[in-house]
Amino acid sequence: MLKQLIVSPSPHIHSGDSIEKKMYGVFVALIPAFLVSLLYFGLGALIVTAVSIASCVLFEFLIQKFLIKGKITIFDGSAILTGLLLAFNLPSNLPVWIVVIGASVAIGIGKMSFGGLGNNIFNPALVGRVFLLISFPAQMTTWPEPGFFPVTYADATTGATTLAMMKAHFGVLPSFVSMTLGKMGGSLGEVSAIALILGFVYMLWKKIITWHIPVSIVGTVFIFFTIVISAHTGEFAVKFPLYQVFSGGLLLGAIFMATDYVTSPMSKKGMLIYGFGIGILTSVIRRYGSYPEGVSFAVLIMNALTPLINTYFKPKRFGEVVKNG
Amino acid sequence: MNLILLAVIFLGAIGAIGATVLYFVSQAFHVEEDPRIGRIQDILPAANCGGCGYPGCAGFAGACVKAEVLDELFCPVGGSETMNKVAGILGKTVREKIPMIAVVRCNGNCENRLRTNYYDGTSNCAISSSLYGGDTGCSYGCLGHGDCVDACSFDAIHINPETLLPEVDEGKCTSCGACVKACPKQLIQLRKKGIKSRRIYVGCMNKDKGVIARKSCNVACIACSKCQKVCPFEAITIEDNLASINDDRCRLCRKCVDECPTSAIVELNFPLKKEKPLIVEEDPISII
Amino acid sequence: MLKTFRIGGIHPPENKLSGHKAIENIPLPAQAIVFLSQHIGVPAVPVVEKGDQVRVGTLLAKSGGFVSSNIHSPVSGKIFKIDSVADSSGYKRPAVLINVEGDVWEDTIDRTDTLKKECHFSSKEILEKIAVAGIVGMGGATFPTQVKLLPPPGTKAEVLIINGVECEPYLTSDHALMLEKGEEIMVGISILMKAVLVDRAIIGIENNKKDALELFEKLSRNYPGITVQSLKVQYPQGGEKQLIDALIRRQVPGGKLPVAVGAIVQNVATAYAVYEAVQKNKPLIERVVTITGKKLGKPCNVRARIGTPVGELIDYAGGMPDGTAKIILGGPMMGKALTGTEIPVGKGSSGVLLIPSPEAQRKEMRNCIRCAKCVSACPMGLIPSYLMSLMEFNELKLAAKNAITDCIECGSCSYICPANRPLLDYIRLGKGKVIKK
């Protein structure tokens, strides 16, 4: 026999989608890049990633348990994802204690101080990374030479990134093939373009993100460097702009960092403008700034502008502006 | 040394220029304000509840200064005391207002009013009541989601977790009327606080016919008009199958309370009756 | 070529369990509960009294104003009482309760099945007949049809759009009706065209009803001016504004009626009711209802008299399955959850849906992660998450500025939200408040 019926306002069905599904979807998309980093940076990559994830989750738990005294949501996947993305932005030979500091800043300042998931203005992983970049510039810009599942790194093999080489006009640039495969110096998650693009395709297929932000960022950077370099050298340049796109954290930033739901605009138009802004800022920092890499700063600056973009670029309303007929 | 000196001079100069600019700007944009507004604002409770009908205490202070007579203006939070002070500043007089308090006219707790379905929507009275009559048989009764609690700026109304009904904290209620506006079922009324806080009111708003009302709730007013007959002061009227007590006429004799067959009439803050302890036990709400 | 609307939309699982099932006649109830307000607008005024004998088709209550509708007796028998009864909203509304005795129809009603194609009435006479028969929009909105067919002064209809979309999951009543009464619907459409003085009508049917599409393609060859268009399966394709956008590429501006872009939309079931009213003198006293649910023994489409309690429909379809936690009158996206099985079928009830326990409960609400899924799902181009947070702080002015009143309450935003936020709950509340202001 029936007990009491449930009454609620419509709709009465739900898509079954959840925050966890979205977060773990991104997680899956990051697996190829993680495998590549394991291959090239070996044990170091594993340690940095594990420590980063564990300390992000731990800090979130501690803050929710003892400071906020609210609900504990460490299993919604967002802290794990922040940890993973933070690790991807760190060199694999970074001392463990620095990783822990980065995680505490990412979760404590970047996320929980704003009120937790959904309320943060800046991408937590990038807040952590930029904090470390400014506080520990030496450790953060020394990368080990990629090997084949190395267990330890000799100090001497630390090498400069492609971007630094391009900026300083020294050294032999890695071949294009080894760049797309990831055999170059860099933070542990950013090296392999192919793995990152694989993740991008997966997220598009699973409808976790749309193409707007990544494509507009990469497109802007490519066009910027094509124009600037062509104007500089007097002949049409393609190779250098392509190196710009495939090196450094651009793809990681464009595909995984800039597309963070919480800190990116909501309308398609807003997404394109946001992506364009990140692209321009990244290019300007790379070309004219003192840092060889600018994706993190560009994303954080555009994060701050996201509420403004949301206010001014709302989706087109039904029956508004659209020409009838 | 030279460098330090340079920095001091430079910063000092910036400071001096800034101060000069600020000085002239504040002169240029100076607004002449009646100083009494500020003084009245100091007296007002600064709750900014809007119970007076003006946007915040500053708005009310402005209105007081402008007004010819203060009779129409009243700060429900500060009460007569505050209004007398305001009148003192302005050199005007105010009428004495009788202190009021919010009462919840529903007594259908979990035992008296059984749940007939399970509400699974947003816990918000306005949303629930716009969807349907509620999760009990009584479509007039309290929904218990606490819109009144959210509306109260003084922490004076709370949902009792046992009865799932809101209870007014007499010490804190300022009769600002925010909860009255917030309740989508119009269950909350402002009534005279009464001598020694003693009040009698009909704890029901059910306008169904007696039989139907009684079926959904044990303490529903069934409009039997017994109370009306017994009342010596003609304070009780029955309209739309519902009795209500006029607090201007009621002299708190409690005859109606004893007469009510469904214990729908609530008495508050009265001493326990010695001669009839049974009724008191039967009527859970009179035990405060 | 499949057409569809241009903004938003979702793809919920179709679950058309009772698709392709013929319409069955359900036995008469012992007592019919006929509400006096089965339409949008003023309740009808009763013209019968307690104890009166009525036949099927006897006028029970007459239209109470301009936007109102006549109510006829769906059964024959004795008026038990006229009283306030709890309707699907749990609030008590006036209703006529009739104790059923036999099945005696009014003599004026033509009960034969023969197709009557010719219609010699003028536009005005047709509108009159529709008003007398108490026809309302049967897609669920229940707006009195005679009012909807009468464009406000200064506007002119160019095209009649017939809604055969049935985009709500589970529901198949329109589909069943289209398969069974194709010719009658076509005649109904021609009558409607005559009534609103247009020479063009488009029937929009979702592509998941291939048989209905084929049937109407074939039928439309004999009816000049009427065309059939297949539409992409996408919710809310059957929303009035969405359907107009899909079929004639015009978007009705916010706050305007469809006739502002020259369109008048009617449901297929309404077209059929119009046929019956004009050609057969039959008032709106019965309708096709889908009874469905994943655990229900025999999901089916039935022809039920208005006023039949939902419980009897469920019994007919195999009885209430164990673990049923929610009964919905209408579709799962926009229907109303019922408090009990005694609620009767109304003029706008297209289905009865039973949802088993775990699915019926809402999941716990989480923080908004600003994923903008609701933004891309909203068919009206609104920002549901923003509107909801505005309403949480009661910011009516800003909500009005952000076109909260444009919301068609389709539920796409709440359906898609990964944080299970009750977006529509708040938007609906805000919409009500803004309109009241």
CATH number reported for the structural domain that contains residue B41 in this entry: 1.10.15
Residues B56 and B117 in one domain: no
| pLDDT above 80 for C416 | yes
- Domain at A238, CATH number: 1.10.3430
Residues B130 and B267 in one domain: yes
Interface test with C, best of B122, B205, B207 (most C CBs within 10 A): B122
The residue-averaged pLDDT of C345-359 equals 91
- Domain at B262, CATH number: 3.30.70.20
| pLDDT above 70 for B284 | no
Judging contacts by C-beta atoms under 8 Å, the chain B residues touching residue C91 are 132-133, 139
Tell me the CATH class for C1-23+104-361.
alpha beta
What percentage of chain B reaches a pLDDT higher than 70? 94
Q: pLDDT band at B286, cuts 50/70/90?
A: very low
Q: Pairing relation of β-strands B117-119 and B199-202? A: unpaired
Report the predicted TM-score, pTM, of the whole model to 2 decimal places: 0.87
Q: Does the beta-carbon distance from B118 to A4 stay under 8 Å?
A: yes
**Tokens, residue B65:** 């200064």
Report how many domains make up chain B: 2
Residues B83 and B125 in one domain: no
Q: Does the beta-carbon distance from C372 to A267 stay under 8 Å?
A: yes
Lowest mean pLDDT among A309-313, C44-48, C243-247, C358-362: C358-362
The residue-averaged pLDDT of C151-175 equals 91
Taking the C-alpha atoms of residue A180 and residue A177, their distance in angstroms, rounded to an integer, is: 5
- The contact set of A with B (CB < 8 A) is 4-9
Residue B12, class by beta-carbon neighbours within 10 Å (0-12 exposed, 13-18 middle, 19+ buried)?
A: exposed
pLDDT at B213: 87
pLDDT in tens, A277-313: 999 999 999 888 888 788 999 999 999 999 999 999 9
Q: Considering only CA atoms, which of C304, C259, C288 is closest in space to residue C181?
A: C288
- The contact set of B with A (CB < 8 A) is 115-122, 127, 131-132, 135
Chain B partners (3+ C-beta pairs within 8 A): A, C
Residues B68 and B110 in one domain: no
Domain boundaries, chain C: 1-23+104-361, 373-436
What is the average pLDDT score of chain B?
85
The residue-averaged pLDDT of C318-324 equals 88
Whether B127 has its CB under 8 Å from any CB of chain C: the answer is: yes
pLDDT in tens, C213-231: 999 999 999 998 999 999 9
| pLDDT above 70 for C199 | yes
Closest to B127 (Cβ–Cβ): which among C339, C365, C425?
Answer: C425
B76 prior amide bond cis, ω within 30: no
Q: Does the beta-carbon distance from C339 to B116 stay under 8 Å?
A: yes
Lowest mean pLDDT among A243-252, B47-56, B128-137: B47-56
Residues B42 and B126 in one domain: no
Residues B82 and B107 in one domain: no
Residues B70 and B201 in one domain: no
Residue B229, class by beta-carbon neighbours within 10 Å (0-12 exposed, 13-18 middle, 19+ buried)?
A: exposed
Residues B120 and B82 in one domain: no
The residue-averaged pLDDT of C318-344 equals 90
Q: In terms of residue numbers, what domain contains B50?
A: 35-90
Alpha-carbon distance values, B36 to A7, B85, B86 (Å) = 55, 12, 9
What percentage of chain C reaches a pLDDT higher than 90? 71
Taking the C-alpha atoms of residue A131 and residue A125, their distance in angstroms, rounded to an integer, is: 10
pLDDT at C99: 94
Whether C53 has its CB under 8 Å from any CB of chain B: the answer is: no
Judging contacts by C-beta atoms under 8 Å, the chain A residues touching residue C10 are 15
pLDDT at A156: 42
Q: Which residue has the tokens 């009525």?
A: C54
Q: In terms of residue numbers, what domain contains A67?
A: 19-312
Q: Considering only CA atoms, which of C326, C290, C408, C306 is closest in space to residue C23?
A: C290
pLDDT in tens, C88-120: 888 888 999 999 998 999 999 988 888 888 888
* ipTM of predicted complex: 0.87
Torsion of CA B81, B83, B89, B91, to 10 degrees: -110
Report how many domains make up chain A: 1
Q: Which residue of C has its CA nearest to A317?
A: C381
Q: What angle (nearest 5°) sits at the alpha carbon of residue C235, between those of residues C212 and C300?
A: 50
pLDDT in tens, C256-284: 889 889 999 999 999 999 999 999 999 99
Q: Which residue positions in chain A have pLDDT lower than 70? A: 1-3, 152-162, 165-173, 182-183, 321-325
Domain-embedded: residue A2: no
Residues B224 and B265 in one domain: yes
Q: Does the beta-carbon distance from C91 to B139 stay under 8 Å?
A: yes
